Amino acid sequence: MAGRREDVLAQLRADAFERDVAQRWLSGFLGRAEMLLCDFEDDVRQYAIDEAACIMEAMFAPSPSEDLSDGVEDEFAHEFAFSLTTPCGKETVQTPIEIKLYDRLAGKSSEDPDDVGLQIWGASIIFSRLLCADPARFGLSTKKQPGSATEAPRIIELGAGTGLMSLVLGAALPHLGLPNAQVISTDYHPQVLDNLQRNIRSNGLAVDTALLDWSCPTFDAPLDKPANVLIAADVVYGPEHAILLRDCAARFLAPRGVFWMLTTIREDGKFTGVKPPSRLPLRRTTALSMRKAVS
């Protein structure tokens, strides 16, 4: 059974069309799971969410049979296509948002922070699709609403890794009537920052980068002003990271600012000890939760 699943995932990774269809279906399902499965028992609904999230992430991880320890630096290019929903009178318009990402060293060492930051994680893909599907939900809209971001919001991504969410924001914000918004993509590890800057250059987007150590944050430009919005996806690898993240976010978030975080909860591996929120009991290997914190 494991071999058959590995073969299926290998086919999905190799076929761009099949991979895109699978990503869209899984992302749509995860974004609407609570509504689609509202008539099912909690454990059935959670099981379906767990399985979908697990498959989504597995599509971007190397298979166990792949030999990635030969000392050769592996590099992969991924192309993502999202559909940005924007209002146009009483109708809505779908604008394509296309991002190309490079990742390196993915899967060589699950304990190496550089390796973690050089992978594309499923939560960042799901967050990007949720954002594009309903920007107003995140306070990013051409129509001003209570709790929406300012006309020129400052958005900081914490633990950006390959930078997918920052790049999606950089491409989407001009279409949302927010051309003067500033997006700042941060990470701590030099190799990760180098790869992040390469991804920004290859997409030709106005996204700033900055080194940020959660344990000892500095406030030099471009991090010299508080952010209206903080975002993060799959950045907590242990209980100590959660504490550092909380304290760091509190220092960078402006009054009435919003912190959006999407995380994958795992029961084993390097994520051992990271527990889900109490209202989302951990039943299997993966669960997704989004939290909105207002300063």
| Cα–Cα dist 177/186, whole Å | 24
The CATH number for 96's domain is 3.40.50.150
Please identify which residue in the block is written with the tokens 């298979």. 63
Q: How confident is the model at residue 185 (pLDDT cuts 50, 70, 90)?
A: very high
The top-scoring range by mean pLDDT among 4-18, 31-45, 241-255 is 241-255
Q: Mind listing the pLDDT tens digit for each residue in 70-126?
A: 444 556 788 888 999 988 888 889 999 999 998 764 444 444 444 455 678 788 988
pLDDT for 194: 94
| pLDDT for 290 | 47
Q: Cα Rg for the chain, rounded, in angstroms?
A: 19
pLDDT score for 51 = 78
In a domain, 28, yes or no: no
235 within domain boundaries: yes
pLDDT at residue number 122: 80
Number of structural domains found in the chain = 1
Confidence of residue 5 (pLDDT cuts 50, 70, 90): low
Q: In angstroms, rounded to a whole number, what is the distance separating the alpha carbons of residues 193 and 157? A: 13
Q: Is residue 175 part of a domain?
A: yes
Q: Where are the alpha helices (DSSP H) in 134-233?
A: 164-172, 190-203
Q: Is residue 226 part of a domain?
A: yes
pLDDT tens for 203-237 read 999 999 999 999 999 999 999 999 999 999 989 87
Q: What are phi and psi of 165, to 5 degrees?
A: -65, -40
pLDDT, greater one: 61 or 70? 61
Question: Is residue 53 in a domain?
Answer: no
Number of Cβ within a 10 Å radius of residue 178: 22
Domain-located, residue 143: yes
Give the domain range for residue 170: 69-294
Query: pTM, whole model, 2 decimals?
Result: 0.71
Is residue 57, in this structure, part of any structural domain at all?
no
Tens of pLDDT, residue by residue over 116-165, are 556 787 889 889 989 999 999 999 976 655 445 556 899 999 999 999 99
Question: Does 56 map to a domain?
Answer: no
- Kindly indicate the confidence band of residue 258, based on its pLDDT and cuts at 50, 70 and 90: very high
Mean per-residue pLDDT, 53-74: 56
